[in-house]
Amino acid sequence: MHLLLFGPPGAGKGTQAKILSETLGIPHISTGEMLRQEMADGTPLGLKAKMYVDRGNLMPDDVMIGIVEHVLDSAPCANGMILDGFPRTVDQAAALKDMFTKRGLVINAVLVIEIPHELIVERLTNRAIIENRADDEPRSILNRLVVYDKNTAPVKHFYEGEGLLKHIAGIGTVEEVARRIMTAITQ
């Protein structure tokens, strides 16, 4: 099973992906975590990523597409995956569709976790304190939401056109949201 988790920063994609991964027995691939590891390791990609992340901007499409293509061909993803944090632009969504088509794979569902911006700011501000994440600073949070609304939200229309989009209410307990997701993918 190949699932995409989609939604604004702070919607709970990472938390829900971990639950889904354990439940379905397929790997959770977080492009954000991959980039944070690259930055922590000080790799050339990590240094390039840091410039964008510190400003709350999206990574260039070609960098993200290359990372995802590499992951898609890896052994752990042979039986499916939960992709979290990609695609973030319509061009990335089209590239991902091409990657899947070339490999004879199918995206089973795109789960969009929906949550009001006010709650996102509250969640990310708390996460910044707990996890000491530079990308969760107030100025960066607001910029990330603007970037999401402008560049990433249109990806929903791409997947609506593909008949893959499933809307998930992101408000409530972690368990409530997880139940909504499982219901959506088993219907």
Catalytic residue ranges: 13, 88, 127, 133, 144
Question: Strand 109-114 relative to strand 28-30: parallel, antiparallel, unpaired?
Answer: unpaired
The 10 Å CB-count burial string (b at 16+, else e) for 55-84 is ebebbebebbbebbeebbeeeebeebbbbb
Listed in sequence order, the residues at least 6 apart from 51 whose beta carbon sits closer than 8 Å to its beta carbon are none
> In the numeric block, which tokens belong to residue 20?
């889904």
**Is the separation of the CB atoms in 13 and 26 below 8 Å?**
no
H or E element: which one contains 114?
strand 109-114
